[in-house]
Structure 1
Amino acid sequence: MKNILKVLLISLITLTIVINSPFAYSQDTTTSGNKIDGFPVILNDETLFVIQKNTGSFSAEERAETITNRLKKFAENNSLSLDSLKIQPLNDTNTSTIVSDDKILITLTEEDAKAAGKTIQELTTQYLEKIRESVAQYRSERTLQSRILAAIYTLVASISIGLIFKIINVIFPYSYRIIDRLQETHIPGFRLQNIELLSSQKVAKYLISFLKFIRVVCYLTVFYVYIPLVFSFFPITRGLSYKLFKYLFAAIQLTWLGFINYIPNIFIISLIITITYYTIRFTKFIFTEIEEGDLSFPGFYREWAMPTYNIALFLIIALGLVFVFPYLPGSNSPAFRGVSVFLGILFSLGSTSAVANTVGGIILIYTRSFQIGDRVQIGDIIGDVEEKTILVTRIRTPKNVLVTLPNSTVLNSNVVNYSASSRDTGIPLILHTTITLGYDVPWRKVYQALLDAAADTEHILDQPAPFILQTSLDDFYVSYELNAYTDRTIKIPLVYSELHEHIQDRCNEADIEILSPHYRAMRDGNQTTIPANYLPSDYQAPGFRIEH
């Protein structure tokens, strides 16, 4: 029932448009032509013949317009029969006329006959037959029977378009459901190496969106064909129908001719794309071999391979686009050039910091300042390098804080890498810590306690062996620096903490008090600070000396 109502509604709207069409559109009685080809005489939106010559003060255009108006009035007057159309014989002025009840419809001269390449009798007879046929058709199409038949055709066309819409509404939703069912099994995603560019769900979503677009195009195409088709059933709108079909065919023809003329450019673009594609594949093969160590060049490190390939990829694609650009449709149009210049200026003004960060990222790659996983210090930030992109570097601190640094900032800062030495040369990192003890503690005893503390600490290497340096002899104490090797740079804070714990334990076991003694300038009655093993066995601290 609902579909029937839709068909009836479409038919009613169409009939309303057609009925009101005389107010919006009437037969075009103006003539369009030129002096060479002539000006057409039109009836029922059909050109009967053309007028090429002037007659007296009347131009060919004026003659064609006048004849068109006379024929239209004759056709609309049903009281005038076709038998009333007659040819008057030649007169002294060498003219021939077609009349109806002594009313002149058209006058032909010898010049008209010469322009048509016929005698004036033959030309007049030919025009008379055309006029009779056109008037007969004009009147038959405007009878009640023809109008009813046109309404029936309209109803049939409306039912047909309803069925077509129904088929479209069945086919496309069914296609959507099929895509939804197949998206996990038969619709693959798009991947570039290990990077998923489009998942299968997104591919299915884009396919459904494309089908929805095709569905709308089908609706519009069917409706555009339907309206001129219905208009062609009614004589008062047939001219508009012809124009609509003419526009459609002209657009199709223009598109097709444009495509045919563009085929050479398509071949050139395809050739450029093919060359670019295989150049990229060859370049990738070379840099992959370098990364895997199968191919090497002096001074070119393996970790440079993929970043260099990405730079080469960008340059190859950019060069390919430069070659393709002149062959793109509309590339020579002022609008296309204006948009290109505008986008270039916009990019230049808005990408200053981005360009600086990009250049900084490229320089950091080739300076080999750090790699992913290295423990580094950049400015006041200490942590492990977690991500290294062309624009930013991300560092995770020991407190699990993720810090993002622009590459331009990294490039302008001092970078301390705690992992590079162990990774590149095999020489582990040296951790060092300093304690200060008085001169009364034997230095050999201090050495042993510190070395034992280093040996007790996890992640401190036995080889190379730890060592101790006396970094200063101050007024009241000595500075002892313990140096120990480790290859676990990511655990530096934990290693330091554990080392300090063991230093305290070993010093306490050796009766070494960790402090920095200070003395007043009063030595009488005090024990000397020289270690006991350097003093005589009968040494006693002097008493206080008091003078009167």
Structure 2
Amino acid sequence: MTDLQNLMRLFCRLLIILCLSVSIEMAYGQPPAAVKQAPSLEQAKVSTSGPISVSKSYPVKLRDKTLFSVQEKIYSVSAEERARLVSERIRKLYEDPKFSLDEIHVEEMETNTEIVAADVVIMAVIDQDGAEAGLSRQELAAKYAQIIKSVVRDMQHDYSVESLTFGAAWTALATVVLILAFYLSGKISARVCQKLVASKGYHIRALRIQRVTLLSAERIASLLVSLVKVVKIGTMASLFYFYLTLVFSFFPWTQGWTAILIEFILRPVRMVLAAAIAFLPNIFFIGVISVVTFYSIKLTRFIFTEIDKGTIRPSGFYADWADPTFKICRFLILAFAAVVMFPYLPGAQSPAFQGISVFLGVLFSLGSTSAVSNIVAGVVLTYTRAFQIGDRVKIGDTVGDIVDKTLLVTRVRTIKNVETSIPNAMVLSSHIVNFSTSAKEHGLILHTSVTIGYDVPWRQVHELLIAAATLTSDILNDPKPFVLQTSLDDFYVSYELNAYTNQPASMARIYSDLHQNIPDGFNGAGVEIMSPHYGALRDGNNAAVPTDYLPKDYSTPSFRFQTSK
């Protein structure tokens, strides 16, 4: 009942507005009580010897309906003024409830023929009027008199109590139908909205492209509910518009509004249909361009697909360039087709369309500076082959594997399993280290440094470091690991172990295993690693070796003093 009450309140408000509109039209549509009669030659004796000239045709109209036209002016009374005066006098006839159609008759004068109603001259017809119509003035006056009688008869019928009563009855019936239509629209839309909400996750599912969720089921259901509400409002507005048009046609004061409201609908429809018919040749041309563009892209895709498969091998063109080159070619083909097609689009020649196009172009240019720089950088990175998908790289301070590269960003998964997106412009301006480029063919050299005291023979140190590298998994035996002595410092010698691997993705684990094997090997040989600095009194102190690696008969040396006289 609440919905019905709300609809009733809404309808009552609309009905009040309608009544006020009709009242205003009736108030302002009525002529003044006393219209000043301008002197006209229809009421005076007209002499054919007076100056008569041909003028523009002006219609005698009543409620937007043309009855006939007046072409001649007589002395100072123009044809336009004659048409206006005749229209006013005819209107007064049907507004007079006591007027009888039998009072309209034709009276023959010496130089003109008058159409008279009671003691009022409606108009005078002269010889020039008849000559313009191809009739005598008597025949033309009789014809005009019949037209006036017919119009007044129709008007009197429209303003009769019986006609107004029927109009009120039809208005009441239309009002009831409108209320029922509003009520049913509300009920149906509410039921549809309930069904949509209940269908989330069942009939309505999330919209996904691969693993990316574009729209969730809740969002889709919400959009559909909003669409149903918009359709409901549009339906109710259309019904009310049709209701107004129908009600206005029931009453003589507002029948002119009916034509206006209908014209509001028909004019755009006619314009759209005319534009569509005029656009048919352009549609054919656009269709030809679309077909040529479609098959050009299809041919381009076929060529680059074969290059990617290795069937076609152009000299100096790598297979991994095939997909990005195809995308660039496709963009250029579509851009060229758009340029050729643009003049044939509807409204392309209008200043508004051109102005909006320029505005959007400037807005895009100003707002996409960084995006364009990233796209250009992405193209450069593609054709310089700085890295491929799966390569272990270092970009700036980020170390990880390349998981995706697009025209805008490069995505790197770090060794901590964190995915980082780096803009291509930043990648191009950074120092890129690729650990995977030559790892499979030549091997990647991993290196680490230790410092050993001068008391340990350097050959023994070399043997221990190479043995530790040999024990580490994923370290290649061919080429063999090697050791470089990088510096002779104050307290120790710096040794650099270099070992080859073909598993750059496992660098962190290999380094960890290598750093475990080096201390084990040195401790097993009883060699102390003096890194970075280690100072001790050798007498009276334990060796810097874990207890597990010391001999069973090992004892702490005593502290000795020696004096000389």
Please give the range of the TM-score, normalised by the shorter of the 2 chains: 0.7 to 0.9
Unaligned stretches of 5+ residues in structure 2: 36-53, 534-561
- 2:270 corresponds to which residue? 253
Q: C-alpha deviations, 1:130-161, integer Å up to 9, x for none?
A: 11111122122212222111101111222233
Mapped to 1, the partners of 2:31 and 2:161 lie a distance apart of 20
Mapped to 2, the partners of 1:158 and 1:507 lie a distance apart of 103
After superposition, residues 146-185 of structure 1 pair within 5 angstroms as 146-169=163-186, 171-172=188-189
Secondary structure of 2:505's aligned partner: helix
- Cα 1:426–1:501, aligned 2, differ >3 Å: closer, same or farther? same
Secondary structure of 1:234's aligned partner: coil
Superposition deviation, residue 177 in structure 1: 5.9
- 1:347 corresponds to which residue? 364
- 1:22 corresponds to which residue? 26
Aligned-partner residue type, residue 464 of structure 1: P
Question: Does structure 1 residue 323 correspond to structure 2 residue 327?
Answer: no
- 2:502 corresponds to which residue? 487
Secondary structure of 1:245's aligned partner: helix
- Cα 1:288–1:485, aligned 2, differ >3 Å: closer, same or farther? same
Secondary structure of 2:313's aligned partner: coil
Q: C-alpha deviations, 1:338-397, integer Å up to 9, x for none?
A: 222222222323333322222111111111112233222223333333443322334344
Mapped to 2, the partners of 1:484 and 1:206 lie a distance apart of 61
Mapped to 2, the partners of 1:78 and 1:214 lie a distance apart of 48
Superposition deviation, residue 178 in structure 1: 6.2
Q: Decide which of 516, 527, 530 is 1:512's aligned counterpart.
A: 527
Q: Decide which of 446, 449, 453 is 2:461's aligned counterpart.
A: 446
After superposition, residues 94-173 of structure 1 pair within 5 angstroms as 95-169=112-186, 171-172=188-189
- Cα 1:475–1:68, aligned 2, differ >3 Å: closer, same or farther? closer
Mapped to 2, the partners of 1:488 and 1:165 lie a distance apart of 73
Mapped to 2, the partners of 1:507 and 1:363 lie a distance apart of 49
After superposition, residues 163-312 of structure 1 pair within 5 angstroms as 163-169=180-186, 171-172=188-189, 209-312=226-329
**More deviation, 407-416/266-275:** 266-275
Mapped to 2, the partners of 1:459 and 1:114 lie a distance apart of 117
**More deviation, 499-508/198-207:** 198-207
Secondary structure of 1:494's aligned partner: helix
Unaligned stretches of 5+ residues in structure 1: 30-34, 519-543
Aligned-partner residue type, residue 106 of structure 2: I
Superposition deviation, residue 284 in structure 1: 2.7
Secondary structure of 2:73's aligned partner: coil
- 1:50 corresponds to which residue? 69
**More deviation, 320-329/344-353:** 344-353
**More deviation, 160-169/139-148:** 160-169
- Cα 1:26–1:409, aligned 2, differ >3 Å: closer, same or farther? farther
- Cα 1:320–1:193, aligned 2, differ >3 Å: closer, same or farther? farther
Aligned-partner residue type, residue 520 of structure 2: D
- 1:526 corresponds to which residue? none
Secondary structure of 1:105's aligned partner: strand
- Cα 1:23–1:456, aligned 2, differ >3 Å: closer, same or farther? farther
TM-score (norm 2): 0.80
**More deviation, 304-313/391-400:** 391-400
Mapped to 2, the partners of 1:341 and 1:44 lie a distance apart of 48
Aligned-partner residue type, residue 325 of structure 1: F
> Contact 2:56 / 2:79 at 8 angstroms: preserved in 1?
no
- 1:75 corresponds to which residue? 94
Superposition deviation, residue 86 in structure 1: 1.1
Aligned-partner residue type, residue 165 of structure 1: F
**More deviation, 159-168/360-369:** 159-168
- Cα 1:517–1:364, aligned 2, differ >3 Å: closer, same or farther? closer
Aligned-partner residue type, residue 475 of structure 2: I
Mapped to 2, the partners of 1:115 and 1:405 lie a distance apart of 87
**More deviation, 113-122/399-408:** 399-408
Aligned-partner residue type, residue 494 of structure 1: R
Mapped to 1, the partners of 2:126 and 2:92 lie a distance apart of 23
- 1:92 corresponds to which residue? 110
Superposition deviation, residue 504 in structure 1: 1.2
Superposition deviation, residue 113 in structure 1: 1.2
> Contact 2:55 / 2:72 at 8 angstroms: preserved in 1?
no
Give identity over the alignment, percent.
43
> Contact 1:27 / 1:239 at 8 angstroms: preserved in 2?
no
**More deviation, 426-435/168-177:** 168-177
- 1:456 corresponds to which residue? 471
> Contact 1:190 / 1:198 at 8 angstroms: preserved in 2?
yes
**More deviation, 16-25/482-491:** 16-25
Superposition deviation, residue 42 in structure 1: 2.1
> Contact 2:391 / 2:434 at 8 angstroms: preserved in 1?
yes
- Cα 1:464–1:180, aligned 2, differ >3 Å: closer, same or farther? farther
Aligned-partner residue type, residue 79 of structure 1: K
Aligned-partner residue type, residue 318 of structure 2: Y
Mapped to 1, the partners of 2:313 and 2:23 lie a distance apart of 84
Q: Decide which of 405, 428, 431 is 2:446's aligned counterpart.
A: 431
Superposition deviation, residue 103 in structure 1: 1.8
**More deviation, 278-287/195-204:** 195-204
Mapped to 1, the partners of 2:383 and 2:286 lie a distance apart of 35
Superposition deviation, residue 413 in structure 1: 2.2
After superposition, residues 2-41 of structure 1 pair within 5 angstroms as 2=4, 5=8, 9=12, 14-23=18-27, 25=29, 38-41=57-60
Aligned-partner residue type, residue 281 of structure 1: K
Superposition deviation, residue 188 in structure 1: 8.8
Mapped to 2, the partners of 1:283 and 1:314 lie a distance apart of 11
- 1:521 corresponds to which residue? none
- Cα 1:480–1:372, aligned 2, differ >3 Å: closer, same or farther? same
> Taking CA–CA contacts closer than 8 Å with sequence separation of 6 or more, which of the two structures ends up with the larger relative contact order?
1
Secondary structure of 2:438's aligned partner: helix
- Cα 1:175–1:259, aligned 2, differ >3 Å: closer, same or farther? farther
Question: Does structure 1 residue 313 correspond to structure 2 residue 330?
Answer: yes
Mapped to 2, the partners of 1:271 and 1:176 lie a distance apart of 44
Superposition deviation, residue 11 in structure 1: 5.3
> Contact 1:41 / 1:65 at 8 angstroms: preserved in 2?
yes
> Contact 1:434 / 1:481 at 8 angstroms: preserved in 2?
yes
- 1:382 corresponds to which residue? 399
Mapped to 1, the partners of 2:230 and 2:296 lie a distance apart of 36
Secondary structure of 1:54's aligned partner: strand
Secondary structure of 1:515's aligned partner: coil
> Contact 2:399 / 2:414 at 8 angstroms: preserved in 1?
yes
Aligned-partner residue type, residue 515 of structure 1: M
Superposition deviation, residue 73 in structure 1: 1.5
Secondary structure of 1:235's aligned partner: coil
> Contact 1:438 / 1:516 at 8 angstroms: preserved in 2?
no
Aligned residue pair count:
512
Secondary structure of 2:279's aligned partner: helix
Q: C-alpha deviations, 1:478-500, integer Å up to 9, x for none?
A: 54332212233233233222212
**More deviation, 357-366/319-328:** 319-328
Aligned-partner residue type, residue 40 of structure 1: P
Superposition deviation, residue 262 in structure 1: 1.6
Aligned-partner residue type, residue 92 of structure 1: E
